[in-house]
Amino acid sequence: MLRLQPIAAATIYSSFGFSMTELGSTGRTYHQVANILNEESYLPRRGPKFTHGIVRTLLRGTVTKAVLTPRAFAEQYVASCAEEKPSLAALAEILRRHGYATPRGNTHWWPAQVRELLAGRFDSYYSIQGIGAGASLS
């Protein structure tokens, strides 16, 4: 028989193969995420099962900048837009609001920089900085 163990939030997401921010951008409600975790026989640290409140607390505890590079964040944002894709200027504003710095360390993103970012021309810069999936959550 499978023994159920309480596990930490980071373990939950790594075992499912997706990050906390991806979970939040899939359009699932907190109730749906809790049901998925309960169906997979995971237990929260406290309590008999996951509830929407526990899932909300876990998802609100993520720091997007520590988990995703600006390119991954922008691509995920574009993918989550069902109807109309945002303009480069809109993506630039979203990156600024979420605190992502440009490769030169500025806070203001220009649409041309977003275009280059999405084309992958800044990947080497952000890999040197250590931003991305290997970074720790705070």
pLDDT tens digit string along 104-116? 889 899 999 999 9
Residue-range domain boundaries for the chain: 9-62, 65-129
Is pLDDT of 26 > 80? no
Local confidence band at 8 (pLDDT 50, 70, 90 cut-offs): low
Q: What is the pLDDT of residue 136?
A: 36
39 vs 36, 53, 98, 103, 108, CA distance in Å?
5, 17, 33, 43, 44
**Locus of tokens 């409140």:** 53
